[in-house]
Amino acid sequence: MSQHKKSSIYTRTGDTGETSLFSGRRVPKNSPRLEACGALDVASSHIGLARSLLTGEATEERKQLDNDLTRIQHLLFNLGAMLACEDDHPPEDYPCVEQRDVDWMERRIDELDAGLPPLQQFILPGGSPAASALHVARAVIRRVERLIVGLIEREQSVSRTCLVFLNRLSDFLFILARHENQRKGCGDVSWDKDALDAKLID
């Protein structure tokens, strides 16, 4: 009976504050490309938190929402792999995000938005615990988008699909948060430009 040695969680290769990209090139862990990858990890972690807050439910809506969020987490890993590749054209078998993923999000956005009340004002992030976590994930995705624009301005290779995907994903997370609030009976709180002057808030 063969025995497989368990690999160590630590490699010590990053102890100097550097890590390797797909090409093998060593870069500082605070390089702009790694900052973008790290922000993706933050977004995925908040999505994982949102999923954990959905436990204990057995409805079809809850199951669909969990499936959507799981798929997004997988896609965020693929996007991180693309960013670590430093190439607009990664190897054929390399994980990536594609136009079909954007198309899927657009279909789901349209489906979910059709069941929501029209949006008349900006809304304040919050509501149910899961929706609040999704709003945080949305804000982090916007940060990743800004970081990638910075990479492009530095003339570093980034697939155009990455930007399109991130722009659509922030919209998707926003709609998912609104849908979750509606599902839990938590109405959206609209931003009121006169709220402070009118002393509507203590």
Q: What is the DSSP string of 149-189?
A: HHHHHTT----HHHHHHHHHHHHHHHHHHHHHHHHTT---E
Is the pLDDT assigned to residue 71 strictly greater than 80?
yes
Q: Where are the domains of the chain?
A: 28-187
165 with 80: CB under 8 angstroms?
A: no
Quick one: pLDDT band at residue 9, thresholds 50, 70, 90?
very low
Is the pLDDT assigned to residue 89 strictly greater than 90?
no
Is the pLDDT assigned to residue 131 strictly greater than 90?
yes
200 with 190: CB under 8 angstroms?
A: no
Higher pLDDT, 72 or 36: 72
- Please tell me the distance from the alpha carbon of residue 148 to that of residue 27, in angstroms, as a whole number: 17
pLDDT given at position 146: 92
- Helix, strand and coil in the chain, % to nearest 5: 55, 5, 40
Average pLDDT, the chain: 81
Is the pLDDT assigned to residue 10 strictly greater than 50?
no
Q: In the Cβ-directed half-sphere of 193, how many Cα atoms lie within 13 Å?
A: 2
| Fold category of 28-187 in CATH | Hypothetical Protein Ta1238; Chain: A; (1.20.1200)
- Please tell me the distance from the alpha carbon of residue 162 to that of residue 80, in angstroms, as a whole number: 10
Tell me if the pTM is above 0.75: yes
Mean pLDDT score, 34-62 = 86
The DSSP bridge partners found for residue 45 are none
**Phi and psi angles of residue 28, each rounded to the nearest 5 degrees, phi first:** -65, 145
Residue 195 DSSP label: T
